[in-house]
Amino acid sequence: MRCLLVSQDKRHDPIVLPDAITVILGRGPESRVTDKKCSRTQVELLANYAYRSVRVTQRGVNPTSVEEIHLRCGDSTTLQEGETLFLVNRLYPYHVRFEQDPSSPKKNLLHFFSPKRPLKEEEEVEEKDRKAQTAKRIKSSSPSEDEEEDEDDPHVTEKLRQLQETAALAEETHPSPQKQPAYQMAPQPRDSWEDHGKLLVFTKKGVVPSSKVAGFDLDGTLITTQSGKVFPTSPDDWRILYPEVPRKLKQLQSEGYKLVIFTNQMGISRGRLRPEVFKSKAEAVIERLGVPLQVFVATGAGIYRKPVLGMWDHLCEKANGGLAISLQQSVYVGDAAGRPANWAPGHKKKDFSCSDRLFALNVGLPFYTPEEYFLGWKKAPFVLPNFDPRTLDPKARLYDPPEACLTSSSSELVVAVGFPAAGKSTFLKKHLVSVGYVHSNRDTLGSWQKCVAMCQASLQAGKRVVVDNTNPDLESRQRFIECAKEAGVPCRCFLFTASLEQAKHNNRFREMTEKGHVPVNDIVLNTYKSKYVEPSLEEGFSEILKIHFVPQFADSQKESLYRLFSEG
């Protein structure tokens, strides 16, 4: 084998790059480059025949490029067949070609055991020399007649026939790589965008379905901002995150992986980002990366937004040519990995979320951060959310203390306390309203004043009442405690113990399963947390029951969905 560095503009003949020997290329007679911006020692080239690649190291001042990777002095990258090396300033293009050395043609077993194989000119000369030497030996040793006619010996002929059959069988069983047939599904014939409501799907021309998928987040994983700011200042404010990214993607493609991007773009549903602007950006990024990719874009909240599996399910069911995906052979890479502050030198900020790691966890894919996958860094520390939906027990105890009674036979007032989406309404309607308690709810009545008025009237009528509001602080609870005192009835507190993280998860689950549900935004949830004061008997409550969230599901499909991480 030999490696040739070929000038694409044919300035000079190909340059042989020996295996594991550094070759210097720059301005000079060999390259016929006279550009003063090109150093005489612009690049070092080190061929690796085993991997059919060339390591390119820039030594000059002005930039050398390999495809879209722009090097600086001292930087290195890998040049592979099919890629273009620009010697300096995107000028003087080269490519490498690995080929069999003509002086040592590749032979198979049949070549050696075929008695009638044609001889090349050099082989003919060697054969004449061999026969001359043989003739000399024959004369000196005076062989017998039998020995001179060994070539026609039936035993030798039969042995040769057996060797030929063995060689032919070996060729059929283990054909050479260039002859081995490879089944491959048809590639995507043209660029295509599909709109599925809150999901956009782009398939680049050339994408081929595969059982092996290499999945990637977009922002912070494949690209980052050119400006250095957290969020892009314009549609053109982006660059490839690391020089190694395009090369790694091309390597994955050559290994039979389907390359897929999964990205949340909530700005589209919020009106901050026009779909056509993002589409144009996504296509430009793919062109720069230089490989065909498929892109899944979650444009709003719901089933498609990572870490929930809507995008992955769509890929498996409708966008991979019906080919099943092997989770063991696939991988996912993302920057939202739950890494704490100072997770590496120079990285002071913690990750903004853990949604990429949780997405991989939900799917069951091996997970890497961009630094681990593209740069080979060691695994960074990370923290998963405190709330894990997989651990909830549907048979757990509903409330504490367990000896307490949920309901009373006489008039009383029950005040609920808990986050929005903590399960208050569902619990209270099932266990209290169903047995005759009057339901006082601000969302239904419109104001806390109307809730107080309903409580006063119902208690005066001797009824049992439950107040189904969040009631985070002393002030909101005290107005109802006063109602109970005025009516001369006890006032109990039902404290719903669901955490902020669990409330967010419940809220996401509602969005995905209840049509017409108005979601609770994070501002409302965080406002509750900031106002919250834990209830106490000193406020005037006769009893405080802690109500635990114990999920109940209508079917197994909803249970499976609930047990997925939904918040990063």
Q: Are 534 and 418 in contact (CB under 8 A)?
A: no
**Which tokens sit at 456?**
């006063």
Q: Give me the helices (H) in 154-290, please.
A: 154-173, 244-254, 266-269, 275-289
Q: Are 522 and 504 in contact (CB under 8 A)?
A: yes
Q: Is the pTM of this model over 0.85?
A: no
Residue 127 within any structural domain of the chain: no
**Phi, psi for residue 197 in degrees, rounded to 5:** 75, -105
**Dihedral in degrees, nearest 10, Cα atoms 389, 499, 422, 458:** 150
* The domain boundary residue, chosen from 83, 99, 115: 99
| 505 lies in the same domain as 405 | yes
| 370 lies in the same domain as 413 | no
**Which tokens sit at 537?**
């008997």
Q: Which of 226, 325, 220, 232 is nearest to 263 (CA)?
A: 220
| 335 lies in the same domain as 472 | no
| 337 lies in the same domain as 403 | no
For 220-234, write each residue's pLDDT tens digit: 999 999 998 888 888
| 265 lies in the same domain as 363 | yes
Q: Which residues make Cβ contacts (< 8 Å) with residue 51, sequence separation at least 6?
A: none
| 297 lies in the same domain as 438 | no
For 537-565, write each residue's pLDDT tens digit: 999 999 999 999 998 888 899 999 999 99
| 362 lies in the same domain as 475 | no
Whether the per-residue pLDDT at 505 is higher than 90: the answer is yes
Q: Are 159 and 150 in contact (CB under 8 A)?
A: no
- Within a 10 A sphere around the Cβ of 179, how many other Cβ atoms? 8
Grade residue 125 by pLDDT with cuts at 50, 70 and 90. very low
Residue 269 within any structural domain of the chain: yes
Cα 510 from Cα 320, distance rounded (Å): 30
| 275 lies in the same domain as 359 | yes
| 363 lies in the same domain as 403 | no
| 405 lies in the same domain as 370 | no
Q: Which CATH number fits the domain that encloses residue 554?
A: 3.40.50.300
Grade residue 160 by pLDDT with cuts at 50, 70 and 90. low
* The domain boundary residue, chosen from 99, 129, 145: 99
Cα 345 from Cα 347, distance rounded (Å): 6
Range of the domain at 295: 192-374
**Which tokens sit at 426?**
């569902």
For 360-418, write each residue's pLDDT tens digit: 999 999 999 999 999 999 999 999 999 999 998 988 999 999 999 999 999 999 999 99
Q: Which CATH number fits the domain that encloses residue 206?
A: 3.40.50.1000
Give the chain's domain count.
3
| 369 lies in the same domain as 443 | no
Residue 501 within any structural domain of the chain: yes
| 413 lies in the same domain as 465 | yes
Q: Are 99 and 4 in contact (CB under 8 A)?
A: yes
Residue 125 within any structural domain of the chain: no
CA distances from 84 to 54, 97, 100, 289, 428 (A): 12, 11, 21, 13, 68
For 329-358, write each residue's pLDDT tens digit: 999 999 999 999 999 888 889 999 999 999
Q: Which of 550, 563, 555, 556 is nearest to 431 (CA)?
A: 550
Cα 325 from Cα 210, distance rounded (Å): 7
* pLDDT recorded at residue 65: 93
